Amino acid sequence: MLSRILKLSFLPASMDAGILFLRIAVGLSLFIKHGYEKVFTFSTMAPAFSDPMHIGPTHSLILAMISDGICSLLVVLGLGTRPAALYSFTVIFVAWSMRYHFLYLGHLVADHGELIALYLAALATIVITGPGRYSIDALIRD
């Protein structure tokens, strides 16, 4: 019994189960923390939203809303997973580089560079591995 617990053999030893867990954890976290507010408070956020690419705050918010509010849910569902994860990765990377200047542990602007790096690593993993067997993409493909 102790051996089974220490080896965690009661958990599924499936790459697909791991990718499903990663997709759900990252996608829901991104949506709950960032996407929900962008989708449901768009009009109040738009005038003062950060504009790192100088395309206007409303346009920047639209790009971020698509990433955090729509693509994050597509990643959870496993629908258009690779393009959705790549889009989110790109938007987050642009924000991290142009808005936060690759800030990781600093205290000048914000103290969430570590979270940004984790989102980027997880999204890159999803882009590389794909959605796995437990996804809508897999159902469509079969």
Which sequence spans correspond to the domains of the chain? 17-141
Of 118 and 113, which is predicted with more confidence?
A: 118
Instruction: Give the mean pLDDT of the chain.
Output: 89
CA angle 105, 109, 114 (to 5 degrees): 30
Q: Say if residue 111's pLDDT is above 70.
A: no
80 phi/psi in degrees, rounded to 5: 60, 40
Q: Which of 4-8, 37-41, 47-51, 96-100 has the lowest mean pLDDT?
A: 4-8
Q: What pTM does this model have?
A: 0.86
The tokens of 92 are what?
């987050």
Three-point CA angle 54, 56, 59, nearest 5°: 115
Report residue 25's pLDDT band, with 50, 70 and 90 as the boundaries.
very high
